[in-house]
Amino acid sequence: MHHILIIEYDNVIRDSLRRLLERNNYKVSEARSVDDATSHFDLDALDIIICNLRLPGKPGTHLIRMTPTPVLVMTKYASQRSVIDSLKVCAVDYLSLPLDHTQILGSIERVLSENLKEKKRACLNLRESEKPVAGMTGKCPAMAEMFRRIRKIAQTNSPVLIRGESGTGKELVARALHEGSTRKDGNLISVNCAAIAQNLIESELFGHEKDAFPGATSTRTGLVEMANNGTLFLDEIGELPLDAQARLVRVLEEQEIRKVGSVQPLMVDIRLIAANQGDLNQLVNEGRFREDLFYRINVMPLQIPPLRERGVDIIELADQKLRLCCERLGVRQKILSADAIQVITTYAWPGNVRELENAIERAVIMTEGDEIPMEMLGLDVELVKIDSMTPEPGPQSGAENEHSSASSGIDDIAPENLSLKDYFQHFVLEHQDNLNETELAKKLGISRKCLWERRQRFNIPRKKKG
Ligand SMILES: Nc1ncnc2c1ncn2[C@@H]1O[C@H](COP(=O)(O)OP(=O)(O)OP(=O)(O)O)[C@@H](O)[C@H]1O
Ligand SMILES: [Mg+2]
């Protein structure tokens, strides 16, 4: 008899699924969260896992790569399906909510008849050989491709140009390149060109002789020389003044530096890694960046994807940062609420991983209980994608009948052009005459407390009765 584990917080959905599977001669076990499942079951020994994407604590997708057992994820919204689609290579599938009995039984039959467990095992083994690089988390296709390039490029001596928005991990990539190279026993010298005063930058980088300029009271070794036999990482290289750019071209061409005020060249053996947030091409066109330098550093371009394009990595990163933050602050481990997970996966993250780290740290400090509510993340709701934010009956909505959400009326509103606030206001004003607060909250897929808080925040007070 095939053994299926259901991971679902909602008792009504879980019971009805169990009854359906038992009627069809499957052995069924149940868990209420990912942690509950991993602490009570040997996941590899199961035949199939069926879980909700939204669970208290870790999301269901967390399991997908933990075990060769195929995972069927229950979800309602297309945006979340696309996240799961990106993982399909590991033999997962999704089940639409509200549950359709024929679809469930069909998916299970397919998983069993196509022996997807073995295929998934082979796929996971393959991935194991593609371990991410030093301290970087990421499994989405764009990050996997970047890790592959990092491993390849690290072993060469070619200059690298890293591009990526603020907080995407440019410094981490530079470190990974250094540590993956034969220069790893040498120094990695990191310089943020935007942080050094323009008139000091040449002497900082290339050093100076005593009395080379007023105030130069002794000879100084420059940062480039300190990187000898190692790696020089120039962050925000676009900020480098043109004179310093000319000296840098010389380093790359001749492997030699000349200190400010010196005629004597000095041989250096460095590998240059440069990074820039903006488009260097544009600076070249504007005459603010030397074209010859651009071509010399643009040998191996590496583009780091913004966080909002990393699919399910976002939630894994949030989980990891949450765990590390609780450890660092010495507080009890907290978990993300379903609301918080929803917002984290749909927020635009203009400040990328650094912004995520900051939001998590703030939430850990502000949250008194064990579960982090969405509000504590302090994110700008205007930057939450509304189409993914349409409410889904989640753990907080209590025991929800699997068919009731189909008739909620929520789908009647075309939400594309609405902000979360507009959407909320529209929905509440339209339905508050016919529904009580509990019913309203349930249809919005949020708790009553959350409904009350949002009424306060968006200034939509409850109508007085009579
Ligand atoms: N893939 C990742 N996995 C884990 N942590 C990451 C990842 N990418 C970035 N971080 C963390 O995010 C923070 C920002 O990373 P980093 O300083 O490398 O970004 P950056 O692109 O150099 O930022 P800036 O543009 O502001 O200089 C760091 O604390 C880093 O540890
Ligand atoms: Mg940086």
Ligand 1 site residues (CB inside 6 A) read 136-138, 164, 166-172, 277, 317, 353-354, 357
pTM for the predicted model, two decimal places: 0.61
**DSSP per position, 125-190:** HHHHTTPPPTT----SHHHHHHHHHHHHHHTS---EEEE--TTSSHHHHHHHHHHTSTTTTS-EEE
Ligand 1, residue 137: give the atom nearest the CA. 3
Show pLDDT as tens, one digit a residue, over the chain (466 residues).
999 999 999 999 999 999 999 999 999 999 999 989 988 888 888 999 999 878 888 777 778 877 888 888 887 765 555 555 545 556 577 787 788 899 899 999 988 988 877 777 766 665 544 555 667 888 888 898 898 889 889 988 889 999 999 999 999 999 999 998 999 999 999 999 988 888 889 989 999 988 888 888 888 889 999 999 999 999 999 999 999 999 999 999 999 998 888 888 899 999 999 999 888 999 999 999 999 999 999 988 899 999 999 887 898 899 889 989 999 999 998 988 888 888 898 888 999 999 999 999 999 999 999 999 999 999 877 777 644 444 433 333 333 333 333 333 333 333 333 456 666 777 788 888 888 888 887 777 677 777 777 787 777 888 765 4
Substitution candidate for ligand 1 out of 165, 168, 192, 314 with most atoms within 8 A of CB = 168
Substitution candidate for ligand 1 out of 140, 172, 193 with most atoms within 8 A of CB = 172
User: Which residue lies with its CA nearest to atom 5 of ligand 1?
Assistant: 136
pLDDT of 414 reads: 34
Ligand 1, residue 167: give the atom nearest the CA. 23
- Domains of the chain are 3-128 (3.40.50.2300), 141-303 (3.40.50.300), 313-457 (1.10.8.60)
364-397 burial, b if ≥16 CB within 10 A, otherwise e?
beebeeebbbbbbbebebeebebebbbbbbbbbb
User: Which residue lies with its CA nearest to atom 25 of ligand 1?
Assistant: 166
User: Which residue lies with its CA nearest to atom 10 of ligand 1?
Assistant: 169
